[in-house]
Structure 1
Amino acid sequence: MGCTLSTTFRSRITARLGRTYLARIQRHGLGSSTVRLLPEDLLMLLRRDGLDPVRRVAATRAKAPVSRVSLPFGMDAWVVTGYEESKAVLGSADGFSTDFAHLAGNAGIGAEQSPGGLGFSDPPVHTRLRRILTPEFTMRRLRRLTPRIEAIVEERLDAMAAAPGPVDLVHAFALPVPSLTICELLGVPYGDREDFQRLAMDRFDLFGGTSAPFGAMSASLDYFRGVVRAQRRSPGDGLLGMIVREHGDSVDDEELAGLADGVLTGGFETTASTIALGSLVLLRNPEVAERLRSDETAAAPFVEEVLRYVSAVQTAFPRFARRDIEIAGVTIPAGDMVLCSLSGANRDPSYVTDDGGFDPGRTTPAGHLAFGHGIHRCIGAELARMELRVAFPALARRFPAMRLAVRPQDLAFRKLSIVYGVESLPVLPGRSAGGVPRATAS
């Protein structure tokens, strides 16, 4: 009896300490003191060595593609680094949950802070919401955005060509292209593009303290509630207006704000990072840039290889086991958290036959996990592809002599992030092929 009571008491204390620890992260972000408490087997999912996953990911995958990680205060999580194993987890909606309530309960976060949308919901709620959004993301409807995407890209290239001295490609090109595209898609004011960038980026800043990530979610939802109210009064031609006209009050304001927030989250920062990192790939591979300039069919395979190679979204949303479930011969207990390394899975030798490095001649195998897998696969995948297929060839054509304005070793990559990226990418575009002369850099 005494032993049983002692074990129960110890379990309660451990759970309480764990909740306190997670709540501290929510309030203050991942400061250096907090990071020191986390095991490297977890942090490796959020680190990179340049454009490559850290070596520990490959070593872990070779040893155990599904491995348990002990978190502070006796909590356990599971790290999945293999391709087939990640597909098994991400593809099992009945075996794993992404419901926000799991995170809220563990971190002491109120349910009112739920971001809603698709990423943090389970069927049947997820099924109903995705059914509403899916028609808006068919290629037929997305094609209406093609002229606007092309115009946005050209406008940003014109601005780069007119700027004196080195240009930061991240802020001049990679960020504005998806930001303005999403403004167009959702039908929100063009003047709000700065807020879009700030709200989307804050939630991926793990060192941001009270503004990130849940604070950024709340701010974003507050903003979209206002947009939704405006669309209710006068539905526009964008996605929100279409949903209001076609579904009326069957989608309430909170659901619609959550859907808009999910589009922003999934479509802005991830695409911006892929544009920036893919541009760096072009700078390192001038023969590929030349191919994009001369061969219109080269864009699609280049985009797929870049998506797989850079895997901007490093880790999928956390999953929680609904029951004891076996993955690759390993039993994951009910309630445990599971984290899938998308960057690790996309480099798995069982999926790609070499070390997974960038190969301009590679025909990327179907099924890369850059957009996830299963019912939570990114609904905006085709929109992202459209943007990338326009952006990369246009950049290569406009600035055939573009080069880095700093030493490669001086580039600052994000040190610990869910969405990987480079903080800035200073370039010397050179003379614009469109005829706009470039000022000489001093």
Structure 2
Amino acid sequence: MTGRPAQASTTRAPRPLPVDRPCPLDPPAELQYLRTELPVAPLAFPDGPPGWLVTRYDDVRTALADPRLSSRRPHLNSHIRASLITPAEMAALRPSDLLTSDPPEHTRLRRLVSGQFTTRRMALLAPRIQDIVDQHLDALAAAPRPVDLMTTVALPVPSLVISELLGVPYTDRDRDRDRDRYQRLTAELLSLDRTREQLLASKAEMKDYLLHLIRTRRAEPADDLLSGLLQAQATDTTLTDDEIAALAQLILIAGHETTANVIGLATLLLLRPPRLWDTVRRRPDLVDGVIEETLRHATVLQFGLLRVAREPLTLAGQPIAAGERVVLHLPAANRDGARFTDPDHFDPHRPDAAKHLSFGHGPHHCIGDQLARTELRTLLTTMLHRFPDLRLATDPDEVATHRHRVVHGPARLPVDFTP
């Protein structure tokens, strides 16, 4: 993308967040103009007063670590759609979690969760990840072609891995019905086109489901994250079942929906012309570069992160008043030419791709980043080996992506191969 898009405006009047993509793998074209000419731009919100949109890498990175910008907010998606749920309803259905809290509450919750993401537990998960990958690639090999990679591999693999980590009972994981239930609920909670009644129903069902799992693990503890949090509850009397359910919901959603879409996007990037699949298959040492570059080039959190100013501050020369909302646009920051050379080019050899902001920065840096990288590395390495002639069964520019969901990625990814 070069030059100023036709739809960009020189006015400083607040404008809605740009969301229309020129192609499935590129962010909205207007973001490039804003990043260059108006890096802290007035932003119109669907409800309430206007705020600000931040698009430069350095500014976004600085803001992510600035304690004056609060993560507390009335609704996760309020810069995309008008809030459908009142703050009181939100508090009743889901208390604060790692995404929506500030210190000292955030510090307490993060310490509890990080204590469960131990090196030992991740090491124990590694062979299970390989087993789950092998099983689903067997299913891919046996499926009628063309086959949708998303439903056959990309979604179920991280779904089962996060079940293993959380401690969803084996009988639940073994039943497609139960797995489909939380995959459905996750998709519903991330969708932006649902009614108030539908959203309330999904939130209530998810909470009931997770509280049921908590009761199960309290009666039958095991070596998993839910059991670990329940053990912590014995010494931290402030930790409630509702808080554990909220943390489990965040881990469940972030742990499988985001990873699933990175799998789909990485595969699409490798299979489209000039077909880097063959290059990486011959050079498996490039897999880590593919992962980091996919996270940078095709950032899955497509609408940015919302913050609220706790006090007046200045960001890139722009005064921001206390109480004003600020959207930190990760896809725009990850395509900033001032930080990444030739940023619109997908390059598995890029030496600094891991400097992307897709896992955040500062106190809210994603706690499961290494688990996600392990899953992605295992799946891509195995798939490259087992399916050397994997190919798209559709035009790459016509791959449908999630336009009305917080997480960006292919809605379907039809692929073919020689058996």
* TM-score, normalization by structure 1: 0.83
Other-structure match for 1:240: 226
What is the distance in 1 between the residues matched to 2:14 and 2:21?
10
Amino acid of the residue matched to residue 113 of structure 2? L
Counterpart secondary structure, 2:319: strand
2:133 matched to which residue of 1?
153
How far the C-alpha of 1:216 sits from its partner, in A, is 3.2
Please list, as runs of the form range in 1=range in 2, the aligned pairs for 1:176-255 lying within 5 A after superposition. 176-189=156-169, 190=173, 191=175, 192-210=178-196, 215-248=201-234, 250=236, 251-255=239-243
Farther-moved stretch of structure 1 (188-197 vs 106-115) = 106-115
What letter matches 1:44 in structure 2? P
After superposition, the Cα gap between the structure-2 partners of 1:286 and 1:137, relative to the gap in structure 1 and judged at 3 Å, is farther
User: Alignment identity in percent?
Assistant: 39
Decide whether aligned partners of structure 1 residues 249 and 45 sit closer, same or farther in structure 2, where only a CA change above 3 A counts. Answer: farther
1:99 alignment partner, one of 69, 72, 86 = 72
**2:25 corresponds to 1:54:** no
Partner residue of 2:291 out of 272, 287, 303: 303
Name which of 406, 409, 428 aligns with 2:416. Answer: 428
How many pairs does the alignment contain?
392
Query: How much does 1:144 deviate?
Result: 0.9
CA contact (8 A) 1:43 1:416 kept: no
Determine helix, strand or coil for the equivalent of 2:382: helix
- Could you tell me how far apart the structure 1 residues matched to 2:187 and 2:410 are? 13
Partner of 1:333: 321
Which residue number corresponds to residue 265 of structure 2? 277
Q: 1:42 aligns with which of 16, 29, 51?
A: 16
Counterparts of 2:116 and 2:110, CA distance in 1: 10
What is the Cα deviation at residue 100 of structure 1? 4.1
Distance in 2 between residues matched to 1:211 and 1:357, nearest whole Å:
42
Deviation at 1:164? Answer: 1.7
Distance in 1, Cα, partners of 2:314 & 2:326: 12
d(CA) in 1 for partners of 2:333, 2:154: 25
What displacement does 1:271 show? Answer: 0.6
User: Would you tell me which structure has more helix in proportion to its own residues?
Assistant: 1
From the superposition, tell whether residues 202 and 294 of structure 1 become closer, same or farther in structure 2 (CA, over 3 Å): same
Counterpart in the other structure of 1:406 = 394
Alpha-carbon distance, 1:293 to partner: 3.0
Which digits, 9 at most, give the CA deviation of each residue in 1:255-282, with x for residues without a partner? 1111101101211111111001111012
Instruction: Say if 1:420 and 1:214 are closer, same or farther in 2 by CA, change over 3 A.
Output: farther
Q: Which amino acid aligns with 1:225?
A: L
Letter in 2 for 1:143: A
SS in 2 for 1:117: coil
> TM-score, structure 2 length as denominator?
0.87
Shift of 1:287: 5.7
Q: Which residue of 1 aligns with 2:9?
A: none
Task: Work out the CA distance in 2 between the residues paired with 1:400 and 1:310.
Answer: 23
Q: Partner of 2:3 in structure 1? A: none
Does residue 1:66 correspond to 2:46, yes or no? no
Cα–Cα, structure 1 residues 74 and 109, in superposed 2: closer, same or farther, change >3 Å? closer
For residues 224 and 50 of structure 1, what CA distance do their matches in structure 2 show?
Answer: 34
SS of the counterpart of 1:343?
helix
Aligned: 1:290 with 2:278: yes
SS at match of 1:207: coil
In structure 1, the gaps of 5 or more residues are 1-38, 432-442
Corresponding residue to 2:300 among 294, 305, 312: 312
SS at match of 2:415: strand
Q: Distance in 2 between matches of 1:77 and 1:48?
A: 25
Question: Structure 1 counterpart of 2:28, which letter?
Answer: V
Larger Rg: 1
Instruction: Name the CA distance, whole Å, in 2 between partners of 1:349 and 1:138.
Output: 36
Within-5 A mapping of 1:14-33:
none
Match in the other structure for 1:108: 86
Structure 1 74/256 Cα, relative in aligned 2: closer, same or farther at 3 Å?
closer
Gaps of 5+ in 2: 1-12
Change (3 A) 1:164 1:419: same
Amino acid in structure 2 at the alignment position of 1:66:
V
Per-residue CA shift, 1:16-74, capped at 9, x if unaligned?
A: xxxxxxxxxxxxxxxxxxxxxxx994331575632011210101111111111234677
